[in-house]
A and B are shown apart, each in its own frame.
Chain A
Amino acid sequence: MSEHNPIILLVEDNDDDVQLTLRAFEKSKVANRIIVVRDGQEALDYLYARGPHARRPDSEMPQVVLLDLKLPKVDGLEVLRHMRGQEATRRLPVVVLTSSKEERDIIASYNLGANSYVRKPVDFGQFVEAAAQLGLYWLVLNEAPPLP
């Protein structure tokens, strides 16, 4: 796909979930670099290289964003809405990765332009499976949009 290793941006505030997600990717042999941000505000700062992330190099723009919905400060749906309104992130694949399978969350996510909606399973075994499929699809099979 590309000469450099694509970056995954994980937006997650729960430390347990961060560790489990990293472990699930590791177990499923997804070797990409995963950058973790802890809330919606930080996610936007990173994406648009501003505030504490002002010095992020262009090469560290992620290829896919894993987005939790319940986040402090700016929630996941807000982040998504903002991303779809900006030229730089309009086409960036976003996978909503969250606890609930509430219908209204699923509908709102797709309405705002989420590319996928994955519910984090309680069973860690299933989580590893899901992470493997996500890595395979979004980082290997999927043809990414050209970077702006």
Chain B
Amino acid sequence: MKPLVLIVDDSLTVRMDLAEAFHSADFEALQCSSVKEARKALAGQSCDLVVLDILLPDGDGFDFLREIRSSKKSDIPVMLLSSEAEARDRIKGLKKGADEYVGKPYDRSYVVSRARQLLRHGDQEAGGKRQTVLVIDDSSTFRSELQQALEKQDYGVMTAASGEEGLRMAADLRPSAVVVDGVLPGIDGATVIRRIRLDTALRQTLCVLLTGSEEQGAELKALEAGADAFVRKEEDIPVVFARLAAALRKAPESTSQSAVSLLGPKKILAVDDSLTYLHELTDALRGEGYDVAMAKSGEEALELLAVQAVDCILLDLLMPGLSGQETCRRIKAAPFLRDIPVIMLTAMEDRNTMIEGLIAGADDYISKSSDLEILRARVRAQLRRRQFEGENRRIREQLLRVELEAAEARAARELAETRAALIAELERKNRELETFSYSVSHDLRAPLRSIDGFSQALVEDYGKALDEKASDYLRRIRGAAQRMGELIDDLLQLSRIGRMDLNRESVDLSAMVTAIVKALQERAPERQVEFRTQGGLVVEADPRLLKIALENLLGNAWKFTGKTPRAMIEVGTEANGRESVYYVKDNGAGFDMEYAAKLFAPFQRLHKDTEFPGTGIGLATVYRIVDRHGGRIWVEASPGAGATFRWTIPLSKGGEAYERTQPHHSAG
């Protein structure tokens, strides 16, 4: 289906001219002379592009543009068309969301080229894999014959009648292949191919040269021009296809889709305080197919550059306000502008001003008195240079990216391997440790049972034969065996805590504390201990581990208040900034803070075993449990005045701690 362009302009001449240009470029065109008509047309048709004049009899192009941008069809490309009086209009239009701003008088081919480009951008994602062929031949009979035959083979086909038109189309539409007649009215087929080969965005396009059989050295000529294949026109069309298909098969995937073609439409910014000279320049460049944006001062140029992308800048050196040098310096200092070639213009043939201009960062320098042909040639040269630079940068970036990706992949692989090895090693060690502690748990206790059991048997059965000293020795043997039993149990527990899975859930800390205290009281019913706990404490923790920790902390408090007349144990919470701190406080034996640092290491004891017996593993176990929950534990104590253990259990990710503070007393 042909793309539909809506042309909105009150001048009949402009409408007719553009409609004709679009028709011959294979577009459908719909003409409207007012905003009202355009609104109606847009509502009724699905347009692909709008060419919009700014001054309309019943409204303003800017307003209509805003209307389009806020409507359902907001993504439709809009090209504003207006007499280039003020750079301000251009800035306004582009800021309001126009995709292009073309000054009147316009260049027809530029308008059509830009239209094709804008449509191609929208199509790119949807674009299929179908290969397209551009046929360039001046004979319309041959063109349509080849077009029909190619379309049957499922190629997308476009045609051009001249080399110049063909090149422009190639730049806009990026065909997979170009079939060009060797003999053409303007530039010949070999030149077309040569130009394609010179353009980094197009150079990978497959080129087939058609030659007449009578031509001598046709093959050599074709190869010299850089053609991929050549076909004699007299040959059967199937032969042409076979060659084309074979060549297309081996055609590389185009890597320069994103590159901007040298032969595509170009926009040039001309900056000069003289309007007369600006118009002279504009005319000269429009003839070459460029669109020219004008700015009357350096300030205006910079303002325009913020919204208008241009391909080359012609900059007058001597201007009131911001000078050409300063403007150039600012352009070259802006990261997104510095690649645009700047050509300095000056009326004076002065060596010093030339040098100053170049120091400011200009890419070239030209005298205003020079022939306009020279100016055009310089502009072309600068554009080509910029394209080559762009290609180089792309290649460098691509290489760098590939290298970077390879390095990243290598690093990731090495990391994964190292990690896998570490995990395997860790799992092996864990299994070993598991086996070890399993055997310890079974085998180490059996001999202790024998030592204890037979010592007891000796006392029971032969008690009479033993004197007091012998009985004491046996008592010591039994005591040692039992202590060792406890030690084994505590050590096994400590080692298991590091390896157990951590399963967090909401735990009623208050209820757990109450149950543990009850068990302690049952084991020593004769003891009188006042016990206080805050009700409703809930924490996110592994219930089994938390129970072990609380058993140890409360067991210690119970033990060390054993010789305190009015024993008191308290459990509660206190807020410390954003985290909750829990505590177990007693008024028991306490200890000197000088040794507090040693307390959480295994086998560290601050009391004589005869005073308060213990294995010295309990607090190491508590420390490990708190640590596994990501919390901290610390202690405050003084000899004879009790100890307070405080700890935190931070929330796991996404968890939520909630606690009510209701004092709750229970005496034990």
Query: Do B453 and A70 touch across chains, with their CB atoms under 8 A apart?
Result: no
CA distance A100 to B438 in the complex (A): 8
Q: When chains A and B are docked, how far (Å) is the Cα of A70 from the Cα of B448?
A: 17
Give me 7 A-to-B residue pairs in the complex whose CB atoms sit less than 8 angstroms apart, sorted by A's number: A17-B449, A20-B453, A70-B443, A100-B445, A101-B441, A122-B449, A124-B478
B450 and A20 contacting across the interface, CB-CB below 8 Å: yes
A98 proximal to B (CB < 8 A): yes
| Contact among B441, B448, B452, B484 for A102, CB-based, below 8 A | B441
| Shortest beta-carbon distance from B246 to chain A in Å | 71
Interface string of B455-490 (1 = CB under 8 A from A): 111000000000000000000001001101100010
Residues of B within 8 A of A69 (CB): 442
Residue of B nearest to A128 (CB): B456
Contacts A23-B457, A122-B481, A125-B456 given; indicate if A17 touches B441 (C-beta within 8 A).
no
* Per-position binary interface string of chain A over residues 1-42, scored 1 when its CB falls under 8 Å from any chain B CB and 0 otherwise: 000000000000010110010010000000000000000000
B446 interface residue, CB < 8 Å from A?
yes
Chain B: interface size category: 20 to 34
Q: Is the CB of B438 within 8 A of A122?
A: no
Count of chain A residues with Cβ under 8 Å from any Cβ of B?
Answer: 19
A119 to B447, CA, bound (A): 15
User: Is A124's CB under 8 angstroms from B441's CB?
Assistant: no
Smallest distance from the beta carbon of B341 to chain A beta carbons, Å? 78
Q: A80 CA to B448 CA in the complex, in Å?
A: 27
The 3 tightest CB contacts between A and B, nearest first, are A122-B485, A16-B450, A100-B441
Measured CB to CB, the residues of B under 8 A from A are: 438, 441-443, 445-450, 452-457, 478, 481-482, 484-485, 489
Give complex CA distance A99, B489 in Å: 11
Partner pick for A14 among B446, B456, B484, CB 8 A cutoff: B446
Least Cβ–Cβ distance between A24 and chain B, in angstroms = 8
Cα-based distance from A98 to B441 in the complex (angstroms): 10
- Bound-state CA distance A64–B114 (Å) is 98
**A22: min CB distance to chain B, Å:** 11
Is A127 part of the contact surface with B, judged by Cβ < 8 Å?
yes
A70–B452 touching, CB < 8 Å = no
Q: Are A16 and B453 in contact (CB under 8 A)?
A: yes
- Of A20, A101, A102, A122, the residue contacting B482 (CB under 8 A) is A122
Interface residues of A in 19-73 (CB under 8 A from B): 20, 23, 69-70
Decide: B442 and A123 in contact? CB cutoff 8 A. no
Which residues of the partner chain A approach B478 to less than 8 Å between Cβ atoms? 123-124
Q: How far does the Cβ of A94 sit from chain B's closest Cβ, in whole Å?
A: 19
Given the known A-B contacts A100-B438, A100-B441, A122-B482, are A127 and B446 also in contact in the complex, defined by CB atoms under 8 Å? no
Partner of A98, one of B442, B455, B489: B442
Bound CA–CA A127/B454 (angstroms): 12
| B482 near A16: Cβ-Cβ < 8 Å | no
Nearest chain A CB to B267's CB is how many angstroms away? 78
